[in-house]
Structure 1
């Protein structure tokens, strides 16, 4: 496992990390708490130190599971959580942080993200609360999630943050245009979520896939008719690379992300220990330059024609 410095901080993150959204049980079709705890333990006991959650995931349930799993293991983990966009006022940010600390049974959060921008609240007010939390030792570093280039620039005027968390994969590459160069120039870390495009790049889906009740992926852009089939063809094209390296298609997709300029870590979800173990198989090896270039071209079959959506979870086209 490779460990990479996050921005200018003294925090080093594993190149593959664990995303705990599914553990909230409210978006991906349910979750078993014991399985979720098993996934977290599998991660931290085998070199994955970055555990990412948020107050909105299951309305605190995910954070509670993280706290239970890391009891007696806190020193092995770099925990990140996020304050939701309805809690952007100064006092609300402070309260949200205290609530997250309580749920996770910890005295501090290593990385605290602003989950989404809120245009109704001045970013200066939100950042003021974040900076005070850092001074108080409640959080170690500040991060932004799902911010545009303009919003990132405005936030940086209000205070230093060390990392951003955008969506990035072979099938979703908008950050390459301006955000990645900006982060490299300003030495800001990038932890990419959904590197396997909500599971599409694992190759497990078929065009007639039946989604379980409560699985909301079917409403997101890449799962829409027509585009979904094109994405499946990209996943299928990863098979030769997987076979060559003795890996899975998903592991190839994750490795491609962690091999890109500016990327600190790839956040991958896991329902149980077995899925976590498979995700870890994306680390400790490298695709060749030629393979990376070939896979780049494969992904562009979709991304070069992809319209600019409002975000990864909205089918509203803004450009």
Structure 2
């Protein structure tokens, strides 16, 4: 396992980051805290020192689970990421939201704190949002500032008012709208930690054509009938190439991202220790240049055909 420094600061993260969204037990369906803790402990045992959560995940439940893991493992051994959600962007509300997250996590600082989503300027200006983040950083409550789901234009606006150390876009073999954002970040020494690395399971190879989903994914763009089966065609190519290396399609999807220029450390979720162990086997090897490009071409053929969706989680378009 390799470790990377975020942006211009001194926060170090493992090259794979454990995503703790599912541990909230809402969007992806019910989960057991014991299994979630097993996933965290197994990940740490195998070298993953970085946990990604947010106040909105299970209305604080994910943060509480991560807080229990921090108690067991030790705060000084982990890098902890959390995020502030849209209703808490005004100065006083953000200060309180950060304190509440710290309380649930059982720590007095966050390694990274993210603005989880952009909001309209007329609601709370980016100057106020970033100034509050800088205030939290100066007070030692957070060590690095991140932006999640921001466009290049929104990112540039934020950079006028404070440090941006890391961004968190949705990015995978099936979702590549932010290629220019990744390039811009690399040019400006901003780290990139993408989420939905496995496209919420579509790149794992475990789903069959014409499957029906009843959890949060039922509304997501890629799970709609016009896209779903075509997604699995990309997964078929990924599966075939990954098998040459003795790897699963999920491991191949993660490894592809690890090889992609500009990507710092993908976020990968796990619901239990077995999934965590399987994900970590994506680290420590590489595709040949030829095989990387075979997968890349299948990916681009699909993503270039998609409408201009604004978010992974619904079917709204910018057109």
Aligned to 1:102: 103
Q: SS of 1:198's equivalent?
A: helix
Instruction: Name the CA distance, whole Å, in 2 between partners of 1:134 and 1:275.
Output: 34
Aligned to 2:118: 117
* Aligned equivalent of 1:135, options 103, 127, 138: 138
Within-5 A mapping of 1:46-65: 46-65=46-65
Aligned to 1:93: 94
Q: SS of 1:143's equivalent?
A: strand
For residues 38-70 of structure 1, give each alpha carbon's deviation from its aligned partner in whole angstroms, at most 9, with x where no partner exists: 111111122101100000000000000000012
- What 5-or-longer segments of structure 2 have no aligned partner? none
TM-aligned CA deviation for residue 287 of structure 1:
1.1
Q: Which moved more, 1:3-12 or 1:252-261?
A: 3-12
TM-aligned CA deviation for residue 88 of structure 1:
0.4
For residues 290-312 of structure 1, give each alpha carbon's deviation from its aligned partner in whole angstroms, at most 9, with x where no partner exists: 11111110112211111111111
TM-aligned CA deviation for residue 210 of structure 1:
3.8
- What RMSD over aligned residues (CA atoms) do the two structures have, in Å? 1.0
Instruction: Name the CA distance, whole Å, in 2 between partners of 1:284 and 1:267.
Output: 16
| Structure 2 residue 181 is matched with structure 1 residue 179 | yes
Provide TM-score, normalisation by structure 2. 0.97
TM-aligned CA deviation for residue 12 of structure 1:
2.1
Aligned to 2:206: 204
Number of residue pairs aligned between Structure 1 and Structure 2: 316
Within-5 A mapping of 1:1-319: 1-73=1-73, 74-119=75-120, 120-176=123-179, 178-211=180-213, 213=214, 215-319=215-319
- What 5-or-longer segments of structure 1 have no aligned partner? none
Instruction: Name the CA distance, whole Å, in 1 between partners of 2:87 and 2:278.
Output: 35
- 8 Å CA contact 1:41–1:70 kept in 2: the answer is no
Provide TM-score, normalisation by structure 1. 0.97
Q: SS of 1:71's equivalent?
A: helix
- 8 Å CA contact 1:134–1:141 kept in 2: the answer is yes
